[in-house]
Each structure stands twice: as structure tokens, then as C-alpha cells.
Amino acid sequence: MVSQILSAVLDGRPLLQVLPFWSEVVWVLSWSCVGGTIARCFQTIVPWGLTTGAALMGLYGFCYYLLIQGYWIPLVPSVLALGMTGGSVVVFRLQQINNDESIKF
């Protein structure tokens, strides 16, 4: 804390600000929705993986930009929500495809 206060006074850096709890929850849930939407929109693994990677890089860049501006945004929970929701949707869809193919035989 002392380092942050000294940097704010001597270097003119802004003090870190955090979002209210409800807005952090909305932030993480919105990235979960992004992961599910990406997984739902793509039929094959490669475009899904590339798009998810681009979304992760965008999330990282946006969180880094906000950190430089003085805002602390939760990155790790957002990454986990994006990846786990997207992965769950992909696994669910693959399971549905396998079940449909076994019924046809």
C-alpha cells in the first residue's frame, strides 16, 4: 500500500479502483455468455479454438489497459468462465452428435 501511495504522489499514477461486487459478477457472467456463444456458433473445433483464443487475448488486453488506467478488473475468473463455459458447450454438443449417430445405426 505504501508503494502505491508513493507512486501516486511521486509519479502521478492513479490509485487502483475496484468495481462494486455486483458489477464484477456481471462482468464474469458476461464473459461466460461470450464463451457459450462462441462455442454455439462454430461447428468445428479449429475455428472455435481460434475465436476463443482471440477472445482471451482481447480480454487480457482490455484488462491490462484498464489496469494502466487505474481500474482493477477480475481477469482470472473471467478467463475461467469463458473457457469452462465454452468447453462445456462443446462437450455437450459432441455428446449430442454421438448420441444421434448411435440412434441412426
Say yes or no to pLDDT of 105 above 70.
Answer: no
Task: Indicate the angle between helix axes 21-41 and 45-69, nearest 10 degrees.
Answer: 160
The conformational region for residue 12 under phi > 0 = left, psi -120 to 50 = alpha, else beta, is left
Please write the tens of the pLDDT for every residue from 78-103.
999 999 999 999 889 888 877 776 65
The per-residue pLDDT for 5 is: 81
| Residue 29, C-alpha cell as written in the block | 457472467
> How is the chain split into domains, by residue range?
17-104
Interval 22-62: pLDDT, tens: 999 999 999 999 999 999 998 788 998 999 999 999 999 99
